[in-house]
Structure 1
Amino acid sequence: MEYDPFLLVILTLTGLVAGWINTLAGGGSNLTLPMLMLLGLPPDVANGTNRVGVFLQGAVAVRGFHHYGRLDTQSITSILVPTLSGGAIGAVVAAVMPNVALKPLLLGTILTMSFIILVRPGFIAPPEGTPVRKVSESRGAWLGLFVAGVYGGFVQAGVGFILLAALSGGLRYDLVRANALKMVCTLSFTSVSLAVFIWFDQIRWLPGLILAVGTMAGSYLSVKFAIRASQNTVKWFLFAMTLVACAAALFF
């Protein structure tokens, strides 16, 4: 299959923006999926190809947050248990639930996040010095991570918003450390789904790797921004991205 070189350049730039958005918020796939389909990829292949960029951006983000000492490595296992358990169930649900349920579910999730940020900003952005809870100490957080896993296994787009609600709202991580753990969860989801898409030959490697160049660059720059930005700045960036994600979901 031949690809328009100009569109491949635009794909890289789109990946740059998406990588930035995904690292600090979520919903970047609402930009990259339409771009991949514009190249002529069918929706299922575009979905698989998109995971190449998501996986490599996640690897860059996790390494970056760990380098700056913002990744709580001791909590990773306890956080991944409910998220990956939910992810397995979500994949099964995706096989039986009609596609018409996807957009209302995505919009409802994002709008709820926007409402929480406006009405209870301290929930999603805990004040400095707030003690972090363990997953074993909060049933609500465990349930939130499990629901995030179900949603991530089901549709993935916008799962970052649910993970941030569970990690910041439930476990009381500040938004930078919550984003670091969110990227660990996303990387774990994507590792599994990427293997599935490879098995079913639903990945086109040229556009996937070109997209990944952009997403990795965007993620790298986003981590540097997150480390230097204030909690309040990250919070309002997250709010702005919920609105962008709503608009993208409505049009695509």
Structure 2
Amino acid sequence: MELDLNLGQYLLIGALGLVAGVINMMAGGGSNLILPVLMVFGIPADIANGTNRVGVFMQSVSGVFGFHKAKRLPTEDLPAIIWPTMVGGLIGALCASFAPVAVLKPLLLLTMLGVAALVAFNPNLLVHAHGVEPVRVADRPNARLALIVVGMYGGFVQAATGFILLPVLAGLLRYDLVRANALKVCCTLGFTLVALAIFISRGQVMWDVGLVLAVCSAIGARLGVKTAIKLKQETLRKILFVMTLVAVVLALFG
């Protein structure tokens, strides 16, 4: 796709990618900043959706390494957590990739708004357990179904996926919020890899914009991990709630 963006637009995209990388390591909602801006710049919804995944993929790689290095990434049940989101991601990405462009933009925005509002106005979804052992996916089958559904959403639109992944990981599976964030990034890496492969095969990626997002988002993710592991649990919860409210506003007026 041929689209002439000026230097200022690239700089704004890079800055948003940096911010998105930071906040996605602590809470979520980074794509709510990026997707509306890409579409405002004239990038069609399907191309914007695919291009955004390049940045998400690289920030996820950076984040996974960061959490692992800090020894905050639990690996005991990791395959059982990741594969359902990858299956869901495949389904969601196929739906998004083949959806008519004329209906995809409002559908993306409405979906972003609905998920963000659900979490913002249902505080119980943000509750996580303290001082208890995590539960294995095999011991809680409804968690596997929830992970598949979240993966479908993530494959379809990506924006605000963290807001519904964290209640599954922290609420259903009882990980503390820092480790739940680390697992969230792993899941995001898994379903984004599947989704990005589909969008690339369909020619729905603007590589110049995607590479700007990739570099800046990866840097932001490194900063975000360092910040997340230092913050208190309650502070992370407050950041998550604030970002949910921001996501509602951006999805509503984006």
Residue of structure 2 in register with 1:126 after alignment: 129
* AA of the residue aligned to 1:124: V
Return the alpha-carbon distance in structure 2 between the equivalents of residues 58 and 143 of structure 1: 23
1:71–1:228 Cα change, 3 Å:
same
Unpaired runs of 5+ residues, structure 2, are none
Identity of aligned residues (%): 48
Q: Structure 1 residue aligned with 2:119, among 113, 117, 133?
A: 113
Q: Is residue 85 from structure 1 mapped to residue 87 from structure 2 by the alignment?
A: yes
Q: What is the CA RMSD across the aligned residues, in angstroms? A: 2.1
Contact 1:116 1:124 in 2 (8 A): no
1:88–1:5 Cα change, 3 Å:
closer
Q: Normalising by the residue count of structure 2, what TM-score does the alignment of the two structures yield?
A: 0.89
1:172–1:251 Cα change, 3 Å:
same
Return the alpha-carbon distance in structure 2 between the equivalents of residues 43 and 150 of structure 1: 18
Unpaired runs of 5+ residues, structure 1, are none
1:158–1:68 Cα change, 3 Å:
same
Return the alpha-carbon distance in structure 1 between the equivalents of residues 108 and 41 of structure 2: 24
Return the alpha-carbon distance in structure 2 between the equivalents of residues 10 and 224 of structure 1: 24
Residue of structure 1 in register with 2:152 after alignment: 150
Runs of 4+ in 1 over 6 A off after TM superposition: none
Return the alpha-carbon distance in structure 1 between the equivalents of residues 99 and 13 of structure 2: 32
In the TM superposition, what is the alpha-carbon distance from 1:39 to its structure 2 partner? 4.1
Q: Number of residue pairs matched?
A: 248
Residue of structure 2 in register with 1:224 after alignment: 226
Return the alpha-carbon distance in structure 2 between the equivalents of residues 34 and 96 of structure 1: 18
Return the alpha-carbon distance in structure 1 between the equivalents of residues 99 and 10 of structure 2: 35
Contact 2:89 2:195 in 1 (8 A): no
In the TM superposition, what is the alpha-carbon distance from 1:64 to its structure 2 partner? 0.2
* AA of the residue aligned to 1:37: M
1:20–1:78 Cα change, 3 Å:
same
Q: Normalising by the residue count of structure 1, what TM-score does the alignment of the two structures yield?
A: 0.89
Matches within 5 A, 1:19-34: 19-34=21-36
